[in-house]
């Protein structure tokens, strides 16, 4: 019967971007079905977005609060921008970790496949955007780092150990500052005053 007739057109190959194909089907009901599967194109379609991490804290006799070294760990909770799946787990990224991106064009701090939609997403720390939090920033939000994301969004941040700072007047160096409890206090022998970082909060802004 003529109604059983249908035409299928397929062109594709299995290559380094997976199974890429283009397919048309003229169905007996007169409808046209079209399918296009290309991982390469999906990668291009994932937009790069930048997020700024803003921090606010009250500083007491302290300045130049900043992450210490290449191995500083930024603890984040991430969300897939494609399927909106958010992870409950804290994950960390650091300047020390670098993973090549598909196609070898660039690299990222972390590449991960979304558990729900299988999309390969990535996040990168933009090294040159890391800024110290200074005396004059006290009690105001300041952007301290930019993250470049492909298919991911940072939704939460948890400061932990690994911060350093200086005494605002004394220049005394304080290391191994842990902000997990949102408060940190010490005594500066040089000026015989207490120093501290209090009420640490944060927010993300789209750049
Ligand atoms: Zn997803």
The proportion of the chain whose per-residue pLDDT surpasses 70, expressed as a percent, equals: 80
Distance in Å, CA 113 to ligand 1 centroid: 8
Distance in Å, CA 28 to ligand 1 centroid: 35
Burial bucket for residue 131 (CB in 10 Å: 0-12, 13-18, 19+):
middle
Report how many domains make up the chain: 2
Does residue 1 have a pLDDT over 50? no
Mean per-residue pLDDT of the chain: 88
Q: Would you state the pLDDT for residue 39?
A: 53
CB 56 within 8 A of CB 142: yes
DSSP 101: P
Distances (CA, A) of 64 to 60, 121, 172: 12, 33, 11
Distance in Å, CA 152 to ligand 1 centroid: 9
Distance in Å, CA 79 to ligand 1 centroid: 8
Distance in Å, CA 203 to ligand 1 centroid: 23
For residues 100 and 152, membership in a common domain is answered with: yes
For residues 178 and 100, membership in a common domain is answered with: yes
Q: Would you state the pLDDT for residue 34?
A: 60
CB 122 within 8 A of CB 114: no
For residues 153 and 201, membership in a common domain is answered with: yes
Question: What is the span of the domain harbouring residue 12?
Answer: 1-43
Q: Would you state the pLDDT for residue 47?
A: 77
Q: Compare 36 and 22 and report the one with higher pLDDT.
A: 22
Q: Would you state the pLDDT for residue 9?
A: 74
Rounded CA separation 192/40 (Å): 61
Distance in Å, CA 83 to ligand 1 centroid: 4
* pLDDT digits 0-9 by tens, 4-15: 666 777 777 776
Distance in Å, CA 118 to ligand 1 centroid: 6
For residues 34 and 63, membership in a common domain is answered with: no
For residues 39 and 63, membership in a common domain is answered with: no
Distance in Å, CA 123 to ligand 1 centroid: 14
Distance in Å, CA 40 to ligand 1 centroid: 17
For residues 3 and 84, membership in a common domain is answered with: no
* pLDDT digits 0-9 by tens, 191-205: 999 999 999 999 999
For residues 84 and 161, membership in a common domain is answered with: yes
For residues 36 and 55, membership in a common domain is answered with: no
For residues 171 and 78, membership in a common domain is answered with: yes
Distance in Å, CA 126 to ligand 1 centroid: 23
For residues 10 and 79, membership in a common domain is answered with: no
Q: Would you state the pLDDT for residue 102?
A: 77
For residues 30 and 63, membership in a common domain is answered with: no
Distance in Å, CA 41 to ligand 1 centroid: 17
CA dihedral 191, 168, 181, 76 (to 10 degrees): -160
User: pTM of the entire structure?
Assistant: 0.77
For residues 98 and 3, membership in a common domain is answered with: no
Burial pattern 51-90, b for ≥16 Cβ within 10 A else e, equals bbbbbbbebbbbbbbbbeeeebbbebbbbbbbeeeebeee
> What's the mean pLDDT in 28-34?
66
């Amino acid at each position: 019967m003529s109604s059983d007739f249908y035409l299928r057109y397929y062109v594709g190959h299995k290559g380094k971007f997976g199974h890429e194909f283009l397919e048309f089907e003229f169905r007996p009901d007169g409808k046209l079905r079209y399918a296009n599967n290309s991982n390469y194109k999906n990668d291009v379609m994932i937009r790069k977005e930048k997020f700024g991490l803003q921090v606010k804290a009250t500083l007491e006799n302290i300045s130049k609060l900043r992450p210490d070294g290449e191995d500083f760990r930024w603890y984040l909770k991430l969300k897939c921008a494609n399927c909106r799946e958010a992870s409950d787990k804290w994950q960390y990224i650091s300047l020390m970790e670098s993973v090549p991106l598909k196609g070898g064009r660039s690299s990222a701090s972390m590449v991960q496949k979304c558990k729900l939609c299988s999309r390969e997403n990535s996040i990168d720390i933009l090294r040159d955007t890391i800024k110290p939090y200074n005396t004059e920033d006290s009690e105001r939000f300041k952007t301290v780092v930019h993250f470049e994301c492909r298919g991911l969004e940072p939704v939460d941040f948890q400061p932990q150990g690994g911060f350093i700072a200086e005494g605002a007047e004394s220049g005394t160096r304080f290391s191994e500052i842990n902000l997990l409890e949102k408060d940190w206090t010490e005594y500066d022998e040089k000026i015989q005053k207490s120093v501290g970082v209090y009420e640490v909060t944060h927010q993300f802004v789209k750049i």
